[in-house]
Amino acid sequence: MCGIVGYVGHSNAQQVIISGLEKLEYRGYDSAGIAVIGKNGMESAKFKGRLSVLDNYLKDHPLEGNIGIGHTRWATHGVPSDENAHPHFNQDKTIAVIHNGIIENYLELKAMLLEKGYQFRSQTDTEVVAHLFDLYYDGDLLKTAFKVESEIRGTYAILAIHQDSPHEFVALRCEAPLVIGYGKGENFVASDIPAVLEYTRDVAFLENGEIAHVTADNVVVYNTKHEVVRKQPFTVEWTLDAATKGGYDHFMLKEIHEQPQGIRDTINTRMDAKGYIKLDDIKLTKEDIAKFDKIYVVACGTAFHAGCVGKYAIEKLARIPVMCDIASEFRYQDPFVDDKTLVIVVSQSGETADTLAALREAKRKGARILSITNVVGSSIARESDDVFYTWAGPEVAVASTKAYTTQLVAFYMIALNLALAKNTINEKHYFELIDQLKQTADILEEMLKDDSREKEVAGLIKDKAALFYLGRGVDMQTAKEMALKLKEISYIYAESFAAGELKHGPIALIENGTPVIAVSTQSAMVEKMVSNIQEVKARGAYVIGIGCEGDSLLASVCDKVIYIPRVDDLLTPLLSVVPGQLIAYHTTCMKGFDVDKPRNLAKSVTVE
Ligand code: AGP
């Protein structure tokens, strides 16, 4: 959500900023803008719509200069429009500001500024920041930033430049991510690493409350007490290629195909010489584990669905009760969390505001926090006691795929470790499951070679108004994730139900030709699922089954079946979700919608 790029150095700022913003497109946005300072003073352009609108304009009206800031906006305060797009300026357009987040006390500040005669051009909360910079500016941009920061409340990543000082910019961070890119004779600040990776691999994250003062030759970071903080940059190991499409039509398809590798990387880096799982960044001892009387899993969206599958694995293998809660609800429910609780927080981006807020609430209540995240150094990783990094590589498509399957792997590995520590699994079973877990990567690779069945299903459902997904037990969680995937990118109304619950109400929705996707991979549930399928068939549903190879009973009741190879029942979610991902992908392509950047959605949701 909202992408930020700031640059100062020897290159053409416009080019660096636009190419950086392109790498942040995955975050979701509705408008884009840029301000550059050069020999003509402050020049800017901003438009509602895709970055290409701005880019096309700049082709005819280039901005000259070696310092500038650029932004892609995801609307919160004020509709998407040219006026509300960032940057925002002071009255005489000498100061430009871009912002990601929400200034919670902006109404109060706006009233104060209006009283002083400031005029507002937009409906945004951000514009108050531009006027505040104007109010306090006395020739020293850094000192002004300190003053501004003391006045604003909320969540923000802010960059500001001043025409009278064309060699510097400032960056302020509170809850919204900002990364510094250290170059040679040039420096960068951006919302995420891919924006700077073309120019440098040496990066450091700003922490909450920190302000960076950036010039071409230096970056100095200050803490809330205005003391200098020594930052230790780290080197990014992955390549920009990992964050580009690499020959695929869409990031989503590329990321679906990267799942086998993601699974391998997530497992293989954590095996010791004797074949045991070794969770390096998790310092939980046997005694710590013995103390936990329950586990909470807290997350949003797809990460939440991964957590719901994780519950099955942990409860079955380690026999610890697990409760799953949506992060935005968790902290308002006075959850049963204390120092005997392990809270597992799941987030691909590691920056989701709801999840971060839930983490802090759990911490406040004394829980031990274990996070599963894909982004090294993200806010959630930094604030957790223990971290399990999923090595999925950067996930760009808004619809999460490889993050989900690697999160499942994380849960299986954590569950196996908890089980071993609690003696609820024997070594034979432990090694068998590890073996099968490893094999899923190869199995999935094989499965991905042929997506003709999923394309066929996409052709059947693409013009339907609604579609239902059914499942029992852990398959119900897979059904939930499949339904989310389809609705978020194809905009087809999709809902998932526990198959046994259907007859208590939802079956009223079934009519002639209603497509139903029935997930049935659990050997103990096949017969029950078959009965539920018969129930919807009797009401005219067209049923597509997703089951394990060899299940002829399923084939006998469904109109069409997609088979996945048979693995241990506990591990089937790793495979069964993939046909659902591909059905959503192909349906969306057939409908001609933007697969990677669906309407109304952002990749990283940094507001509550
Ligand atoms: C997934 O396809 C969604 N775009 C969304 O539900 C996402 O999983 C959710 O916003 C959580 O994001 P996170 O994993 O980065 O915290």
- Contact 289/421 with Cβ under 8 angstroms? yes
**Average pLDDT of the chain to the nearest whole number:** 94
- Predicted confidence band at 281 (pLDDT cuts at 50, 70, 90)? confident
Does the beta carbon of 400 lie inside 6 Å of ligand 1?
yes
Q: Which of 231, 402, 480, 603 is catalytic?
A: 603
CA distances from 188 to 70, 145, 242, 461 (A): 11, 18, 20, 46
CA of 557 to the centre of ligand 1 (A): 35
The answer to whether residue 28 scores a pLDDT higher than 70 is no
Provide the pLDDT for residue 101.
Answer: 85
The stretch 320-328 carries a mean pLDDT of: 97
Please confirm, yes or no, whether 603 is among the known catalytic residues.
yes
What amino acid is encoded at 241 in this protein? Answer: D
Provide the pLDDT for residue 104.
Answer: 81
CA of 303 to the centre of ligand 1 (A): 6
Nearest CA to ligand 1 atom 9: 301
| 3-state per-residue secondary structure call for 417-470 | HHHHHHCCCCHHHHHHHHHHHHHHHHHHHHHCCCCHHHHHHHHHHCCCCEEEEE
Q: Which of 2, 174, 324, 558 is catalytic?
A: 2
Provide the pLDDT for residue 76.
Answer: 74
Compare 431 and 378 and report the one with higher pLDDT: 431
Nearest CA to ligand 1 atom 6: 301
Provide the pLDDT for residue 279.
Answer: 87
Structural element, H or E, at residue 101: strand 95-103
Phi, psi dihedrals of residue 235, rounded to the nearest 5°: -95, 130
The stretch 485-514 carries a mean pLDDT of: 95
The answer to whether residue 443 scores a pLDDT higher than 90 is yes
Domains of the chain, earliest start first: 3-240 (3.60.20.10), 245-447 (3.40.50.10490), 452-591 (3.40.50.10490)
Provide the pLDDT for residue 176.
Answer: 84
Structural element, H or E, at residue 294: strand 294-299
Provide the pLDDT for residue 85.
Answer: 96
- Predicted confidence band at 246 (pLDDT cuts at 50, 70, 90)? low
CA of 297 to the centre of ligand 1 (A): 15
Provide the pLDDT for residue 265.
Answer: 85
- Predicted confidence band at 4 (pLDDT cuts at 50, 70, 90)? very high
Please confirm, yes or no, whether 2 is among the known catalytic residues.
yes
Does the beta carbon of 348 lie inside 6 Å of ligand 1?
yes
The stretch 122-133 carries a mean pLDDT of: 96
The answer to whether residue 400 scores a pLDDT higher than 90 is yes
In the chain, count of helices (H) and strands (E)?
19, 25
First-to-last alpha carbon distance for the chain, in angstroms, is 12
The answer to whether residue 494 scores a pLDDT higher than 90 is yes
Q: Is 409 exposed, middle or buried (0-12, 13-18, 19+ CB in 10 A)?
A: buried
The answer to whether residue 311 scores a pLDDT higher than 70 is yes
- Predicted confidence band at 271 (pLDDT cuts at 50, 70, 90)? confident
Provide the pLDDT for residue 268.
Answer: 85
The stretch 395-421 carries a mean pLDDT of: 96
Does the beta carbon of 148 lie inside 6 Å of ligand 1?
no
- Predicted confidence band at 242 (pLDDT cuts at 50, 70, 90)? low
Does the beta carbon of 347 lie inside 6 Å of ligand 1?
yes
The answer to whether residue 13 scores a pLDDT higher than 90 is yes
Count of C-beta atoms within a 10 Å radius of residue 366: 11
CA of 302 to the centre of ligand 1 (A): 5
Nearest CA to ligand 1 atom 5: 301
The stretch 557-563 carries a mean pLDDT of: 97
Provide the pLDDT for residue 602.
Answer: 81
The answer to whether residue 80 scores a pLDDT higher than 90 is no
- Altogether, the residues listed in the chain come to a count of 608
- Predicted confidence band at 251 (pLDDT cuts at 50, 70, 90)? very high
The stretch 25-43 carries a mean pLDDT of: 90
CA distances from 391 to 2, 333, 360, 403, 412 (A): 25, 33, 25, 9, 15
CA of 347 to the centre of ligand 1 (A): 7
CA of 326 to the centre of ligand 1 (A): 12
Of 199-213, 370-384, 490-504, 525-539, which gets the smallest average pLDDT?
370-384
Does the beta carbon of 443 lie inside 6 Å of ligand 1?
no
Nearest CA to ligand 1 atom 7: 301
Of 70-84, 154-168, 301-315, 502-516, which gets the smallest average pLDDT?
70-84
Provide the pLDDT for residue 388.
Answer: 95
Q: CA 153, CA 568: separation in Å to the nearest integer?
A: 51
The stretch 561-590 carries a mean pLDDT of: 98
**E strands along 306-408, which residues?**
322-326, 341-347, 368-373, 386-389
Does the beta carbon of 398 lie inside 6 Å of ligand 1?
yes
Does the beta carbon of 302 lie inside 6 Å of ligand 1?
yes
- Which pLDDT tens digit goes with each residue over 343-355? 999 999 999 999 9
User: Tokens 């430009």 belong to which residue?
Assistant: 96
Atom of ligand 1 nearest to the CA of 603: 4
Which of the listed residues 251, 297, 300 should we mutate to test ligand 1's pocket, taking the one with most ligand atoms within 8 A of CB? 300
- Predicted confidence band at 576 (pLDDT cuts at 50, 70, 90)? very high
Does the beta carbon of 252 lie inside 6 Å of ligand 1?
no
Provide the pLDDT for residue 291.
Answer: 95
The answer to whether residue 79 scores a pLDDT higher than 70 is yes
CA of 252 to the centre of ligand 1 (A): 14
- Contact 46/104 with Cβ under 8 angstroms? no
- Predicted confidence band at 118 (pLDDT cuts at 50, 70, 90)? very high
Partners of 497 in the beta sheet? 470
- Predicted confidence band at 203 (pLDDT cuts at 50, 70, 90)? very high
The stretch 512-533 carries a mean pLDDT of: 96
